[in-house]
Structure 1
Amino acid sequence: MPFPDYLDRKPRLIFFTDFDGTITTVDVWDWLVMTEGYGPEELHRSNQAVMDGTMTFREASREQLESIQIGLDKCIKKAIAHLRIDDGFIPFYQWAVSVGVPIVILSGGLVSLIEAVLKPLVGDELLGIEIVANEAMPRDGFQSVNQDGGSWTIDFRDDTVYGNDKAQAIRSYAEYRDVMAPGEKPILLFAGDGVSDIGAAKQADLLFAKQGQDLAKYCRHQRVPFVEYRNWKSILRTTQDLLWVS
């Protein structure tokens, strides 16, 4: 049920969220780059360059993922074996479905990995969840993304400096909301943790930023209002309270 069908159903809230490091407890792509790519020091340099504004997120993520030397299918298997979903996310998801709150995952990662992680937990239909993310494609000289040796690269969703502009995705809903009747306008929320979420930081009505991570540091530095969270249990409580008063 992609945009704008969610709005046509007139939900009271729409919840946008990052995936890696937000729904999962660790950023799986960072872990893969550290273990199967060019390592933690180069990863830190690349991420810091994005924070400093000397490299775009698009440039950094392409560089990082192209350093991975195993095929995509192996990446997904390793990721599923390593990562954990935040303990509070499934209860949040179940509550959201029960009250008609759509969840829109906005990710700088890959649709294929997100689906592989979520479908065993919530069902193959991913009821109530829309995934807006990138795809993978073979690099020159390779026939398949599943070959080893650096066979794949990221096929970005758009031409922006983010590759997948989370801010524009939220703005699309906000602009559509502007023409809705006053009593039908949903509240837009967003949860994130890292550098890929910076562009979306000012777009939602309420921002959740993960404690101790880059997004919270950025918001403090830029004086962007946010609610700091440790896990999805606290997000659930705040969202339930917001739905109750809205």
Structure 2
Amino acid sequence: MAIIIPPAMKTDPKVIFFTDFDGTVTTSDSNYMMCDAIGYGKEKRCAANDAVLNGERSFRDAFNEMMDSVQTPFSEAQQWLLDNTKLDPQFPVFFRWARANNVPIVVLSGGMKPIIRALLAKAIGEEFVDEIEIISNDIQAKPGCNINDADGWSLKFRDDR
């Protein structure tokens, strides 16, 4: 059996930096922003979050419902986030320091990889974004659809692989 070396270990670092994304690299949760503005709105999103916190629903079901409420084609939803999401202004500085000091950055997120990747590219440049390992959920086309159709995409949870 072959040994698989995780990407963050390939340079034999002494330290690996693990981080969340929404509200950490961004100044607010991009998924909530999208749901509030182009999905079913803040009131329903907050009610879904409350149901999770009260043990009435699973996070997975509530988050899936939130993202399903966004019926905008994926490319337009992603562009909306690129236009409206603020990034921590110190993240590019930290990224350059980490890169210069062999400190790999790993993003662990319940969000969606293509959105995280696009926002990271905005922060640090497309040429550097693949240096950050992203462990998160993804998106997929709904049956018979293209992700860029109206209501054409859905979450693909990482643990469903």
**TM-score over 0.5 for the pair:** yes
Partners of 2:145 and 2:153 within 8 A in 1: no
What's the Cα RMSD here?
2.0
Task: Give the fraction of aligned pairs with identical amino acids, expressed as a percent.
Answer: 35
Q: Which residue of 1 aligns with 2:40?
A: 38
Aligned twin of 1:154: 155
1:135 aligns with 2:131: no
Q: How many Å separate the matches in 1 of 2:61 and 2:9?
A: 33
How much does 1:126 deviate?
Answer: 2.1
- What are the within-5 Å matches in structure 2 for residues 177-192 of structure 1? none
Partner of 2:90: 88
Instruction: Tell me how far 1:96 sits from its aligned partner.
Output: 0.9
Q: Distance in 2 between matches of 1:6 and 1:90?
A: 19
Find out whether 1:121 has 2:123 as its counterpart: yes
TM-score in terms of structure 2 length? 0.87
Relative distance call for 1:50 and 1:9 in structure 2 (3 A) is same
**Partner of residue 79 from structure 2, selected from 65, 71, 77:** 77
Deviation at 1:81, TM superposition (A): 0.4
Match of 1:17 among 19, 27, 31: 19
Separation (CA, whole Å) in 2 of partners of 1:29 and 1:3:
31
From the superposition, tell whether residues 22 and 3 of structure 1 become closer, same or farther in structure 2 (CA, over 3 Å): farther
Which one has a bigger Cα radius of gyration? 1
Is there any run of 5+ residues in structure 2 with no aligned partner, and where? none
Aligned length, in residue pairs:
157
Structure 1: runs of 5 or more not aligned? 164-246
TM-score, normalised to structure 1's length?
0.59
Distance 1:84 1:105, change over 3 A: same
Deviation at 1:53, TM superposition (A): 2.5
User: How far apart, CA to CA, are the structure 2 residues paired with 1:136 and 1:8?
Assistant: 27
Specify the code of the residue in structure 1 equivalent to 2:154.
Answer: T
Task: Give me the whole-angstrom Cα distance separating, in 1, the residues matched to 2:87 and 2:81.
Answer: 11
How big is the shift at 1:22?
1.3
Tell me by how many angstroms 1:157 deviates.
0.9
Matches of 2:38 and 2:7 in 1, distance apart? 40
